[in-house]
């Protein structure tokens, strides 16, 4: 069974003459453990798709099935719990709490879920170690580089052991070297740690790390590509497809 | 530590300036409420010390229900009651000594306040023996002898054989110290024990006493004997000593209310600042909150997070407020001591903090903080997870302020109606309604006001003024809230300034009418019943026969009981008093009232009593007098300057003598004949006054100068005003600083496109000035209205004076408002100008 399935997913912003259709009857399916990148020109609806799959926004029409469950049938509290336990979110601007240390930031989802602070801290430290930040546990966000901040954010997304990671332009605010590191980390999350990753990105070089790329235009899927490996050749192909989609 | 508490503390540490400013706001409100309430018990104690007479420990003490004097023959009735072994009459009253006659202590302090206890020496020796440190006891043969306490002797060096000169109704009375008693002085005042006759001379109460002390026969039932004694004496007597008058209760209660009002206003200001702070905190942390919501924080978690932060601030602010409140109370009492000494000859002790004050201050500190944090916290729960993903841009408010403005206008109109209703409670509600109404109208007025002042501002800040104006008008709601910090502070300044000006103006009017005679023989204390020594009839006779004197009027004083409460009774001569002075009437025809007073048992009650008891013209009051219960008809409502703050009734001196046995003149007002030689009259009266040192003699000009000094005490209230305005300055700095934070990226962009640091600084200053100007306009409007309501409320409680305001005061208020704008901008403008461009552009 697919982990994510959207059926006729539609999102219209505004009303009347000013109405803008961000998603237009979108149907996609993502299998467990897949690393899927969503690409497309600005305004194609890729971020909207991510918001709807994450239960952050409500559709105008259609459904999002997560593990077969229609997430918009859940009330606010149930949806919040779903995000806390089954979905990990990674943002473009990291969104770390500036006054908390790295380990404390990572522990947040567990603490919010009622896990004891010591236990949450231990798990957070373990995840930070797995992503190579064991020497930055007590650093605050302003004491970390952009790449390190995004790694902390990824650790935070993983700490509650969710099955799905949603990443919204995770490298959009990083230099190319850090961006590559993050892309590799996301691939590792998918391949080694068996999590499903759905990533929105503008960057073909980053998208080339995914198993599959979905190209959107005007709220619908215009192309879809499976990638066998990553490298310059794949990147060039992604660039070409992206140009076509534009 | 919980997650919420940890996060709250970290955020507070992360914004030290804001945390400090907000803490000060909470602390300030608690400090005012706690500190002010802490000084009141000390003031009450001072009054009690000033007014009360000591009561010894005997089996039974009998006094008059009315607290007045009664015929000494009553002691015979007590003695004859079965079960009474001994009964002794005494006349015990506080006594103020003029500074010239004051006894000086070794440390230079002038001791002017005593309790004179007139006793029948040998009966006292049997009933309540006095222990002596030196000398001898009084005997029945003594007539000009006195016992003083060991404490007084040690303080002053006075000893057996020395003399004490006391003011008396006949002038001066010299007493020889024959013994030094052992024991502490009662109620803080030094006790002098003298023969009864001497005390009666001092107080002009021949044949009168005010206390009977009795001891019961062994084996008798105390309760039975007490009832038998009271039955034999008839109505008008009670078991127990004379206590401080509840006629001061209203004045003290009013004082408590006024001080509490200050505290509540200060606390409300604190709450307002906290509200603004947290409102902005929520805006500033929108992304953090959105992220927390996105990763699974429930709405309750977010609510708890913000409320925990406000609770932590509340706890810290309250704790500091209690500490500083206690220090404030100590400081104020030390500062007030000279005033109390001069005006009432009373010494104030230290502050006292009852458990309820702690409960009130803590409840208020925490309650207001939580309440102020609640609305922003609820707003925080409405932050959507998506807010974590959107770029943060300063939003432009597009919502029309029309509906709010209409609601505001309706609420302001309702506020006006509350004043017409003539009820103090409603009038107070009117103040709240008015402020709410103004807050709702505010955003609609921001645009026109900003445009108006923007033009003026562009003269000084040509380029930056325009940007500043745009910053305000794009978010009128936020601008209105920031401006309201100034509005509230200034409204308080203007309102209290108006109240004080009206009060002083009103008092001038009262003084001119009720104490405007050519010459005055004033008592030691401005509180008539505060231990003043009156003069016997000979002084007035001497004044009347002084060449050049046309009319003489006097005031006499005693106390009556009415429905268990004390009412000060002032005796006037209905014929001569209106010729020299006159009451100021709120109800009743002046001429008819005096006529009624001359014809029978008519009484004029003052406003404070009328408001307190709901008495109206035509009502009948049953006054408990030494002659039993007497019915007095209320002929009018009015009062004089001396007694406006004490529940007082005015009756004729004839009735005062008949029902209360009180004939001593406490205040004498004299007019000179037209064309008389003023210097000659002045000289003659002044010479006469020297024989009566209990009085201070003033010509009208001297009196005006003297009372002017006393009224200068009210200037202290202006200092209080400045203190009250501080929170609004804090609020302005706080909100401006937060505004700068919120617009960090925008300021970075301005710097990136070529704005100089100076231009940024000027932009923030211009913005602050615009906000201050807007706040000042609202503040003036609100302040005048609030002042009008406060004066109206004062009138309703019986303190009748017209509302007035000085133009100089208004100009000062404008200057203060704009000054706050400049001062408030200093820190935020500096912050903004020093922003690093790259960091500012990356700021989230």
> Is the Cβ of B319 closer than 8 Å to some Cβ of chain A?
no
Dihedral over Cα of B663, B664, B668, B670: its sign: positive
pLDDT at B244: 46
For B794-816, give the secondary structure using H, E and C: HHHCCCCCCCCCCHHHHHHHHHH
Instruction: Among B501-515, B530-544, B629-643, B770-784, name the most confident range.
Output: B629-643
The per-residue pLDDT for range A141-160, each reduced to its tens digit, is 889 998 999 999 999 999 99
Q: Are strands B132-135 and B113-119 parallel, antiparallel or unpaired?
A: unpaired
- Judged by DSSP in three states, B243 sits in coil
Give the Cα separation of B110 and B87 in Å (integer): 36
- Look at B309 and B740; give whichever has higher pLDDT: B309
Judge whether residue B347 has pLDDT over 70: no
pLDDT above 90 for B651 = yes
Contact list, A88 vs chain B (CB under 8 Å): 295
- Torsion, Cα B9 B15 B16 B19, to 10 degrees, reads -70
Q: Which residue of A has its CA nearest to B10?
A: A99
So what's the pLDDT on residue B187? 46
CB contacts, 8 Å: B292 with chain A: 97, 108, 112
Structure-model confidence comparison of residues B697 and B534, the more confident one: B697
Higher pLDDT, B58 or B797: B58
CB contact under 8 A, B288 and A85: no
Residues B3, A54: C-beta atoms closer than 8 Å: no
The minimal CB distance from B287 to the residues A95, A112, A157 is found for A95
- How much is the pLDDT for B390? 62
* Closest chain A residue to B384, measured at CA: A56
Of A57, A89, A112, the CB nearest to B301: A112
**A86 vs A82: CA distance, rounded Å:** 5
Predicted confidence at residue B257, as pLDDT, reads: 64
Minimal C-alpha gap between A14 and chain B (Å): 16
Q: State the Cα–Cα distance between residues A175 and A173, nearest whole angstrom.
A: 7
Per CB-CB distance under 8 Å, the chain A contacts of B384 are: 56
Do residues B524 and B96 make contact, with C-beta atoms less than 8 angstroms apart?
A: yes
CA distance B68 to B64: 6
Taking CB atoms and an 8 Å cutoff, what residues of chain A touch B11?
Answer: 99
What's the whole-number mean pLDDT along residues A78-98? 87
- Average pLDDT for residues B204-231, to the nearest whole number? 86
CB atoms within 10 A of CB B575: 15
> Which residue has better confidence, B318 or B505?
B318
B219 by Cβ neighbours in 10 Å (0-12 / 13-18 / 19+) ranks as exposed
> Nearest residue of B to residue A81 by CA position?
B296
Q: What percentage of residues in chain B have a pLDDT greater than 70? A: 82
Kindly determine whether residue B7 and residue A56, on different chains, have CB atoms separated by under 8 Å. no
Q: Tell me what the pLDDT averaged over chain B comes to.
A: 79
* pLDDT tops 50 at residue B53: no
Structure confidence by residue, pLDDT tens digits, B751-788: 777 777 888 888 888 888 888 888 888 888 878 877 87
Using a pLDDT cut of 90, give the percent of chain A over it: 56
B295, A93: Cβ pair inside 8 Å?
no
Disruptive mutation site among B10, B291, B293, B393 for chain A (greatest number of A CBs within 10 Å) = B291
- Spatial separation of the C-alpha atoms in residues B52 and B185, rounded to whole Å: 13
Q: Which residue of A has its CA nearest to B844?
A: A93
pLDDT score recorded for residue B808: 81
- pLDDT top residue among B296 and B726: B296
Tell me the chain B residues in contact with residue A84 when contact means C-beta distances shorter than 8 Å. Answer: 295-297
- When scoring A89, A96, A161, A166 by the number of chain B Cβ atoms within 10 A, the one with the most, hence best to mutate, is A89
Highest average pLDDT, of B104-108, B308-312, B736-740, comes from B308-312
Tell the burial category of B695 from Cβ atoms under 10 Å away from its Cβ (0-12, 13-18, 19+).
Answer: buried
pLDDT, averaged across chain A:
89
Please give the angle made by the CA atoms of B117, B122 and B124, to the nearest 5 degrees. Answer: 45
pLDDT at B619: 92
Q: Kindly determine whether residue B295 and residue A108, on different chains, have CB atoms separated by under 8 Å.
A: yes
Distances (CA, A) of B511 to A106, B508, B637: 75, 5, 18
- In chain B, which among 382-441 make CB contacts under 8 A with chain A? 384-386, 388-389
Q: Is the pLDDT of residue B697 over 70?
A: yes
Checking if the pLDDT of B59 tops 80, the result is yes
Q: Please tell me which of the candidates A80, A92, A108 has its beta carbon nearest to residue B298.
A: A80
Check pLDDT > 80 for residue B711.
no
Query: What's the pLDDT band for B422 if we cut at 50, 70, 90?
Result: low
Comparing B175 with B611, the larger pLDDT belongs to B175
CA–centroid distance for B749 within its chain = 54
- B3 contact residues in A (CB cutoff 8 A): 111-112, 117
Strand order in the sheet with A35-39: A87-90, A164-168, A196-200, A35-39, A212-217, A220-226
Per CB-CB distance under 8 Å, the chain A contacts of B287 are 93, 95
| pLDDT at A246 (0 to 100) | 60
Cα–Cα distance measured from residue B501 to residue B805, given in angstroms and rounded to the nearest whole number: 6
* A102: nearest Cα among A69, A135, A75, A70: A135
Helix then strand count (H, E) for chain A reads: 8, 10
Q: Which helix (H) or strand (E) holds B283?
A: helix B249-284
pLDDT digits (tens, 9 = 90+) for A175-216: 888 999 999 999 999 999 999 999 999 888 899 999 999 999
Closest CA–CA distance from residue A159 to any residue of chain B (Å): 11
Closest chain B residue by Cα to residue A170: B389
> How much is the average pLDDT of B362-369?
86
Closest-CA residue to B491 (of B783, B819, B811): B783
For residues A96 and A153, is the Cβ–Cβ distance under 8 A? yes
Packing angle between helix B757-796 and helix B424-460, nearest 10 degrees?
A: 160
Tokens of B778: 């609202």
Cα–Cα distance for residue pair A186/A182, rounded to 1 Å: 6
CA distances from B379 to B28, B259, B280 (A): 26, 34, 11
Pick B454 or B713 by higher pLDDT. Answer: B454
The distance of B745 to chain A (nearest Cα, Å) reads 14
Q: How confident is the model at residue B46 (pLDDT cuts 50, 70, 90)?
A: low
* Residue A82 Cα, gap to closest chain B Cα (Å): 8
3-state DSSP assignment of residue B459: helix
Nearest CA of chain B to the CA of A155: how many Å?
Answer: 12
Confidence of residue A30 (pLDDT cuts 50, 70, 90): very high
Helix axes B476-514, B249-284, angle to 10 degrees: 170
Mean pLDDT over residues B195-203, rounded?
A: 88
Contacts of B642 (CB under 8 A, 6+ apart): B514, B515, B526, B528, B555, B667
Q: For the domain A4-245, what is the CATH code?
A: 3.40.50.300
> Between chains, do A100 and B293 touch, taking CB under 8 Å as contact?
no
Distance of CA B387 to the CA centre of its chain: 51
Distance (Å, rounded) from C-alpha B401 to C-alpha B661?
A: 70
Across the range A26-34, mean pLDDT stands at 94
From residue B272, alpha-carbon distances to A16, A105, B356, B404 in Å are 41, 32, 25, 19
A132-141, B89-98, B203-212 — most confident range:
A132-141
With cut-offs at 50, 70 and 90, classify the pLDDT of residue A59. Answer: very high
Cβ contact B13–A99 (<8 Å): yes
* Cβ <8 Å between B384 and A56: yes
User: How many Å lie between the alpha carbon of A228 and the closest alpha carbon of chain B?
Assistant: 31
Phi, psi of B494 (to 5 degrees): -65, -45
More confident residue, B707 or B798: B707
Q: Residue B816: is it exposed, middle or buried by C-beta count within 10 angstroms (0-12/13-18/19+)?
A: buried
Q: Does B16 touch chain A (CB under 8 A)?
A: no
- Test mutation, A46, A55, A95, chain B, max B CBs within 10 A: A95
The reported pLDDT for the residue numbered B393 is 45
pLDDT of B401 higher than 60: no
Question: Hey, which of B47-56, B227-236, B255-264, B724-733 has the most confident mean pLDDT?
Answer: B227-236
Of the ranges B254-268, B666-680, B706-720, the best mean pLDDT one: B666-680
Residue of higher predicted confidence among B420 and A210 = A210
CA distance A173 to chain B (A): 10
Comparing B461 with B311, which gets the higher pLDDT? B311
Question: What is the C-alpha to C-alpha distance for residues A148 and A100, in angstroms, rounded to an integer?
Answer: 15
Contact A168 B10 (CB under 8 A): no
Hey, where are the domains in chain A? Answer: 4-245
pLDDT band at B54 (very low <50, low <70, confident <90, very high): very low
Sign of CA dihedral B743, B749, B750, B752: positive
Q: Is B294 on the interface with A (CB under 8 A)?
A: yes
A&B contacts, CB < 8 Å: 76
CB B53 within 8 A of CB B93: yes
pLDDT band at B462 (very low <50, low <70, confident <90, very high): low
- Give CA separation, B41 vs B49, B184, B327, in Å: 12, 22, 16
| Residue B183 pLDDT > 90 | no
- Which pLDDT value is given to residue A121? 93
Residue B648's alpha-carbon distances to A219, B463, B591, B630, B651, in angstroms, are: 85, 65, 20, 16, 10
Confidence band, pLDDT 50/70/90 cuts, at residue B642? confident
List Cβ neighbours of B842 (8 Å cut-off, separation of 6 or more).
Answer: none
CA distances from B417 to B432, B436, B787 (A): 13, 15, 16
Residues from A contacting B (CB-CB < 8 Å) are 47, 51, 54, 56-57, 76-77, 80-81, 83-85, 88-89, 91-93, 95, 97-100, 104, 108-109, 111-113, 117, 156-157, 160, 168
Give the bridge partners for B113, in sequence order: B96
**CB < 8 Å to B288, chain A:** 95, 97-98
Residue A110 sits at φ, ψ, to 5 deg, of -70, -40
The helix (run of H) or strand (run of E) holding residue B135 is strand B132-135
In whole angstroms, give the CA distance from residue B731 to residue B275.
Answer: 10
Query: How far does the CA of residue B730 sit from the closest CA of chain A (Å)?
Result: 25
Q: Nearest by CB to B10, which of A56, A85, A99?
A: A99
- Enumerate residues 722 to 751 of chain B having a beta carbon within 8 A of any beta carbon in chain A: none
Secondary structure element (H or E) that encloses residue B633, with its range:
strand B628-639
Contact call for A100 and B10, based on CB within 8 A = yes
pLDDT (mean) for B638-655: 87
Q: In this model, does residue B56 exceed pLDDT 60?
A: no
B571 or A230: which leads in pLDDT: B571
Query: Is residue B246 predicted with pLDDT exceeding 90?
Result: no
Q: Whole-angstrom Cα distance, residue B675 to residue B690?
A: 25
Q: How near does any CA of chain A get to the CA of B839, in Å?
A: 11
| Option in B3, B7, B295 nearest A89 (CB) | B295
Categorise residue A140: left if φ over 0, alpha if ψ from -120 to 50, beta otherwise. Answer: beta
pLDDT for residue B166 is more than 90: no
Partner-chain contact B296 A97, CB within 8 Å: no
Q: How far is B829 from chain A (nearest CA, A)?
A: 24
Say which residue, B395 or B689, is predicted with more confidence: B689
Q: Do B294 and A54 touch (CB under 8 A)?
A: yes
pLDDT (average), residues B364-374: 85
**Least confident window among B121-130, B224-233, B626-635:** B121-130
Helices B476-514 and B807-833: angle between axes, nearest 10 degrees: 150
CA distance B806 to B792: 18
Q: Is the pLDDT of residue A8 over 80?
A: yes
């Amino acid at each position: 069974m697919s982990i994510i399935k959207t059926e006729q997913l539609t999102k219209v912003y505004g009303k009347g003459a000013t109405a803008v259709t961000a998603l237009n009857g979108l149907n996609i399916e993502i299998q467990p453990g897949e690393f899927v990148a969503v690409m497309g020109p600005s305004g194609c609806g890729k971020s909207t798709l991510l918001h709807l799959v994450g239960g952050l926004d409500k559709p105008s029409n259609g459904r999002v099935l997560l593990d077969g469950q229609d997430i918009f049938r859940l009330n606010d509290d149930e949806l919040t719990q779903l995000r806390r336990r089954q979905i990990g979110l990674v943002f473009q601007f990291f969104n770390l709490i500036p006054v908390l240390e790295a380990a404390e930031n990572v522990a947040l989802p567990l603490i919010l879920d009622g896990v004891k602070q010591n236990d949450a801290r231990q798990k957070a430290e373990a995840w930070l170690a797995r992503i190579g930040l064991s020497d930055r546990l007590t650093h605050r966000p302003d004491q970390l580089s952009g790449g390190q901040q995004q790694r902390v954010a990824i650790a935070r997304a993983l700490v509650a052991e969710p099955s799905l990671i949603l990443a919204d332009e995770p490298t959009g605010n990083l230099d190319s070297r850090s961006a590559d590191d993050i892309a590799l980390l996301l691939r590792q999350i998918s391949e080694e740690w068996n999590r499903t990753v759905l990533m929105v990105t503008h960057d073909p070089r980053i998208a080339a790390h995914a198993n599959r790329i979905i190209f959107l235009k005007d709220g619908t899927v215009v192309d879809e590509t499976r990638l066998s490996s990553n490298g310059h050749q794949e990147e060039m192909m992604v660039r070409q497809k992206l140009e076509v989609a534009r | 530590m919980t997650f919420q508490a940890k996060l709250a503390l970290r955020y507070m540490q992360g914004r030290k300036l804001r945390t400090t400013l907000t803490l000060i706001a909470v602390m300030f409100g608690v400090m005012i409420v706690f500190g002010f309430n802490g000084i009141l018990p000390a003031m009450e104690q001072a009054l009690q010390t000033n007014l009360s007479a000591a009561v010894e420990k005997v089996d039974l003490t009998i006094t008059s229900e009315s607290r007045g004097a009664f015929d000494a023959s009553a002691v015979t009735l007590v003695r004859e009651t079965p079960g009474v072994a001994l009964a002794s009459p005494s006349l015990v009253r506080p006594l103020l000594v003029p500074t010239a006659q004051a006894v000086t202590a070794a440390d230079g302090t002038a001791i002017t306040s005593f309790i004179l206890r007139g006793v029948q020496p040998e009966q006292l020796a049997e009933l309540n023996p006095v222990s002596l440190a030196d000398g001898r006891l009084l005997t029945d043969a003594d007539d000009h002898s006195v016992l003083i306490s060991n404490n007084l002797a040690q303080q002053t060096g006075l000893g057996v054989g020395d003399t004490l000169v006391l003011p008396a109704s006949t002038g001066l009375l010299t007493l020889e110290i024959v013994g030094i008693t052992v024991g502490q002085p009662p109620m803080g005042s030094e006790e002098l024990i003298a023969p009864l006759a001497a005390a009666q001379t001092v107080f002009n109460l021949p044949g009168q006493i005010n206390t009977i002390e009795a001891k019961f026969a062994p084996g008798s039932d105390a309760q039975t004997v007490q009832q038998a004694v009271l039955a034999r004496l008839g109505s008008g007597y009670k078991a127990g000593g004379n206590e401080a008058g509840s006629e001061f209760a209203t004045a003290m209660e009013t004082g408590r209310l006024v001080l509490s009002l200050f505290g509540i206003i200060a606390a409300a200001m604190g709450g307002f600042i906290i509200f603004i702070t947290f409102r902005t905190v929520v805006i500033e942390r929108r992304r953090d909150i959105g992220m927390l919501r996105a990763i699974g924080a429930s709405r309750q978690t977010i609510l708890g997070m913000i409320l925990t932060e406000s609770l932590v601030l509340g706890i810290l602010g309250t704790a500091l407020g209690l500490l500083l409140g206690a220090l404030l109370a100590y400081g104020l009492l030390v500062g007030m001591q000279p005033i109390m000494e001069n005006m009432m000859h009373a010494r104030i002790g230290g502050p006292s903090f009852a458990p309820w004050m702690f409960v009130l201050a803590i409840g208020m500190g925490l309650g207001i903080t939580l309440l102020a944090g609640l609305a922003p916290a609820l707003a925080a729960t409405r932050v959507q997870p998506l807010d974590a993903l959107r770029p943060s841009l300063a939003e432009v408010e597009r919502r029309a302020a029309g509906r709010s403005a209409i609601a505001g206008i309706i609420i302001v109109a309702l506020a006006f109606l509350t004043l017409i209703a003539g009820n103090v409670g409603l009038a107070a509600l009117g103040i709240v309604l008015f402020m709410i109404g103004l807050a709702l109208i505010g955003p609609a007025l921001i645009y026109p006001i900003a445009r108006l002042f923007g033009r003026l501002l562009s003269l000084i800040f040509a380029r930056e003024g325009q940007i500043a104006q745009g910053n305000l008008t794009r978010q009128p709601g936020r601008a209105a809230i920031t401006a309201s910090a100034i509005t509230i502070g200034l409204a308080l300044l203007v309102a209290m300034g108006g109240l004080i000006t009206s009060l002083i103006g009103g008092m001038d009017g009262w003084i001119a009418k009720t104490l405007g005679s050519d010459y005055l023989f004033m008592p030691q204390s401005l509180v008539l019943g505060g231990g003043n020594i009156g003069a016997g009839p000979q002084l007035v006779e001497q004044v009347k026969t002084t060449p050049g004197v046309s009319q003489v009027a006097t005031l006499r004083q005693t106390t009556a009981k009415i429905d268990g409460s004390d009412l000060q009774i002032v005796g006037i001569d209905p014929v001569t008093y209106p010729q020299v002075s006159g009451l100021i009437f709120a109800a009743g025809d002046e001429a008819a009232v005096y006529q009624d007073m001359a014809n029978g048992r008519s009484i004029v009650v003052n406003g404070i009593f009328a408001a307190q008891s709901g008495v109206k013209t035509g009502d009948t009051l049953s006054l408990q007098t030494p002659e039993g219960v007497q019915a007095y008809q209320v002929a009018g409502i009015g009062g004089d300057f001396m007694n406006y703050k004490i529940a007082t009734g005015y009756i004729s001196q004839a009735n005062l003598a008949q029902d209360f046995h009180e004939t001593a003149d406490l205040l004498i007002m004299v007019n000179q004949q037209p064309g008389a030689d003023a210097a000659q009259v002045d000289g003659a009266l002044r010479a006469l006054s020297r024989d009566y040192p209990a009085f201070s003699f003033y010509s009208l000009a001297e009196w005006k100068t003297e009372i002017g000094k006393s009224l200068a005490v009210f200037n202290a209230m202006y200092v209080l005003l400045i203190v009250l305005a501080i929170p609004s300055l804090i609020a302005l700095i706080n909100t401006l600083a937060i505004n700068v934070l919120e617009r960090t990226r925008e300021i970075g962009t301005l710097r990136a496109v070529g704005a100089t640091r100076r231009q940024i600084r000027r932009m923030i200053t211009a913005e602050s000035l615009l906000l201050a100007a807007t706040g000042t306009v609202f503040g003036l409007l609100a302040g005048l209205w609030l002042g009008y309501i406060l004066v109206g409320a004062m009138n309703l409680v019986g303190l009748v004076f017209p509302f007035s305001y000085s133009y100089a005061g208004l100009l000062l208020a404008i200057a203060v408002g704009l000054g706050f704008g400049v001062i408030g901008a200093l820190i935020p403008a500096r912050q903004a100008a020093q922003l690093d461009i790259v960091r500012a552009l990356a700021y989230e």
